[in-house]
C-alpha cells in the first residue's frame, strides 16, 4: 500500500481461502499474501524472492511510530487467523500479538480497520502466541475460548503458582 516496505516477519497463518497472513514485527505491519492476485503463475517465475509483489498487501498497525522514521513502535511477535469465528468478529480475521503494547491487534480485512484489545493484567503481557477452540458452538461466547501465551521467552509461557514459577513449552 503506497510503496510501504515491510520487514522482520514473525509468525504466519493461513485463512480458509489460502491467503497467508504474517506479522511484520520490525516495520509494524500485518501483511497478507494472496497468490490469486499474481499476474503470472508462480511456476513461470525465477525464484528471486520477489515473485508476485502484487500479491502482497501491507496494513500499518495503529499506534505511535519512532520519531522521523514512520516505523511503528509496536512489535508483533506472532500471527493467528481466527478461521472459525471464535471471537465473533467474522471468519478469517487475522490477529497479531502486540507485544509492545500489551494487546491483541485485530484487523477487519474487509474494512482495513483495527480493533485493539488491551490486556490490563498481568503487567508486561508480552504476548507470544494465540490459539483458540470452540467447545460448544451452541453455547455462544461461553463455549469458545482464545488462549494467549505470554512471557519474555518465545518458547514458553509462565505464571506464578504456589510460590514457584511454572513454565510450559509451546510447540508449533
pLDDT tens-place string over residues 78-113: 899 999 998 889 999 999 988 778 888 999 989 999
- pLDDT tens column, 153-165: 554 444 443 333 2
End-to-end CA distance of the chain: 31
Q: Give the confidence band of 49 by pLDDT, cuts at 50, 70, 90.
A: low
Q: Give the confidence band of 42 by pLDDT, cuts at 50, 70, 90.
A: low
What pTM does this model have?
0.78
Q: How does the average pLDDT of the chain come out, rounded?
A: 78
Average pLDDT (22-36) is 90
| DSSP classification of residue 38 | -
Distance CA 6, CA 71 (A): 9
* Closest listed residue to residue 23, CA positions, set 68, 67, 74: 74
CB 79 within 8 A of CB 96: yes
- Percentage of the chain modeled with pLDDT above 70: 76
Name the pairing type of β-strands 144-150 and 127-134: antiparallel
Amino acid at each position: 500500500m503506497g510503496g510501504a516496505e515491510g520487514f522482520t516477519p514473525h509468525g504466519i497463518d493461513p485463512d480458509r481461502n489460502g491467503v497467508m497472513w504474517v506479522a511484520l514485527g520490525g516495520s509494524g505491519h500485518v501483511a497478507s499474501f494472496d497468490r490469486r492476485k499474481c499476474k503470472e503463475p508462480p511456476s513461470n517465475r525465477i525464484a528471486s524472492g520477489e515473485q508476485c509483489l502484487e500479491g502482497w498487501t501491507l496494513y500499518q498497525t495503529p499506534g505511535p511510530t519512532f520519531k522521523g522514521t514512520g516505523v511503528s513502535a509496536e512489535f508483533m511477535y506472532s500471527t493467528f487467523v481466527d478461521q472459525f469465528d471464535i471471537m465473533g468478529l467474522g471468519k478469517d480475521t487475522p490477529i497479531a500479538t502486540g507485544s509492545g503494547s500489551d494487546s491483541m491487534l485485530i484487523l477487519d480485512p474487509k474494512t482495513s480497520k483495527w480493533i485493539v484489545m488491551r490486556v490490563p493484567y498481568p503487567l508486561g503481557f508480552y504476548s507470544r502466541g494465540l490459539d483458540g477452540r470452540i467447545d460448544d458452538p451452541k453455547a455462544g461466547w461461553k463455549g469458545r475460548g482464545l488462549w494467549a501465551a505470554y512471557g519474555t521467552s518465545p518458547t514458553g509461557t509462565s505464571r506464578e503458582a504456589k510460590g514457584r514459577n511454572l513454565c510450559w513449552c509451546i510447540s508449533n
